[in-house]
Amino acid sequence: MTWLAYLDYASVFVFALTGALVASRAQLDIVGFIFVACLTAVGGGTVRDVLLARPVFWMEEPTYILVASIAAFEVFFTSHLMKSRYRWILWIDAFALAVAVPAGVAAAVSMQATWPIVLIMGVSTGCFGGLMRDVVCNEVPLVLKQGELYVTCAFTGAGAAVILLALGQPLSIALLGCAVVTLALRTGSLAFGWKLPVYKGRPPRV
C-alpha cells in the first residue's frame, strides 16, 4: 500500500467520525449519519482528484466508503455517551486535518505538480470535506468562522512540506513535517485560543 493510500484511509476514517458527530447534533437517522460521514470523508479528496484530473480515489477503491460507513455506525451507537459533542468534533477534526493535508500534498507530488498546486491541493483536501459537512447540516462552516485558524493551518502545513521538499528531504519527511505543523497550529488554536485578526471596517451607511 502506498503512502497516499494510507493517508487517504486515515483521513477518510477520522473525517467520517466528525461528519457522523455533526449528524448526531442534527439528530439524523442512521442513513443520514452514513451520508454525512461519507460526504465529509471523501469530499476533500474528491475535489483534489477532480482538479488533478486523476481517478477519484473512492471510485477506484470503494472500500473507502465502507470505512466511512463503519465510522458512522460507531458514532451512531456511542455519541450519546459524549458530554460535549461539539468539543469532540473540534479535536477530532484537528487530527483529520493533519492527515488530510499531507494526503493532498502527496497526491499533487505524485502528479509532479508545481509547488503552488501542491499548496492548493493540500488546502483543498483538508478543508472541502468539512465545508460540505457543515453546509449540508446547516452549521456555520468551521473553515469560515471569524478569526478561526483552520485554512491557515492547512496552508502552513502544506507550505512546510513544500519547503522540506525544496531542501531535498524525502517525501516521507515532508509529509511528516506537514502533519506536525498542521496539527500543532490547529490544536494550539483550540487549546490557547489563537486567532487571526478580523476585518473591522466602518459600519455601512444606511
The structure's pTM equals 0.91
Q: Is residue 195 classed as helix, strand or coil in its secondary structure?
A: strand
**pLDDT value for 201:** 64
81: left (phi over 0), alpha (psi -120 to 50) or beta: alpha
Q: What angle do CA 77, 125, 146 make, to 5 degrees?
A: 80
Residue 201 lies in a domain: no
**pLDDT value for 6:** 83
Residue 204 lies in a domain: no
Distances (CA, A) of 37 to 55, 68, 89, 133: 21, 6, 12, 8
**pLDDT tens per residue across all 206 residues of the chain:** 576 788 889 989 999 999 999 999 999 999 999 999 999 999 999 999 999 999 999 999 999 999 999 999 999 999 888 778 888 999 999 999 999 999 999 999 999 999 999 999 999 999 999 999 999 999 888 888 877 899 999 999 999 999 999 999 999 999 999 999 999 999 999 999 888 887 776 666 65
* Residue type, position 199, single letter: Y
User: How many folded domains does the chain comprise?
Assistant: 1
Nearest to 32 by CA among 139, 137, 141: 137
Query: Scanning the structure block, which residue is given the C-alpha cell 499548496?
Result: 119
**pLDDT value for 80:** 83
Domain residues for 144? Answer: 3-192
* DSSP state letter for 111: T
Q: Is residue 148 classed as helix, strand or coil in its secondary structure?
A: strand
Residue 205 lies in a domain: no
